[in-house]
Amino acid sequence: MGNGFFIVLLAMFAFLYFLLIRPQRQTQRKHAQMLGALKVGDEIITSGGIYGEVVQLDEERVMVEIDDDVRIAVARRAIATVVPPEELERLESEQSAEEAQTVSADEAQTVSADEAQPKTAEEPMTAEERDAARS
């Protein structure tokens, strides 16, 4: 009986190792390799979702330019991924197309003073007001 329990326990550990632990270690290894291969000029995405270009590297930190003359320092481990060049080209082409549409739309219409005011959301109803509106 004691031998059977030990074999089942060993099989469960092996199952968990191959299902959970090993894939996680491979992912960590790939991320560490990506951080090690990071260089100035790479377009990156941080774990917070900020897109930017690497302008300076340090052991612990990376200086990222997110807009013209706007630089932030982020922890090296906070970099989620490096944007592939083909994805970068696609994003830039979409951005230029959107800018062209915005410019043509701005030229085509004039905004009156009433439309220029920002629109705010309606005040949310309380539970009592919702119940009264239903009946």
The domain in which residue 88 lies consists of: 39-96
Reported pTM: 0.57
Q: Does 95 score more than 60 pLDDT? A: yes
* Count of domains observed in the chain: 2
Examine the domain organization and report whether 91 and 72 are in the same domain: yes
Share the mean pLDDT of the chain. Answer: 84
Please report whether residue 102 resides in a domain.
Answer: no
Q: How far apart are CA 50 and CA 74, in angstroms?
A: 10
Examine the domain organization and report whether 43 and 56 are in the same domain: yes
- State the pLDDT at residue 29: 95
Examine the domain organization and report whether 83 and 52 are in the same domain: yes
Among the residue ranges 89-93, 102-106, 121-125, the one predicted with the least confidence is 102-106
- 61-67 vs 51-57, strand pairing mode: antiparallel
Q: Does 81 score more than 70 pLDDT? A: yes
- State the pLDDT at residue 103: 58
Examine the domain organization and report whether 49 and 4 are in the same domain: no
Examine the domain organization and report whether 43 and 80 are in the same domain: yes
Q: Which H or E run includes 47?
A: none
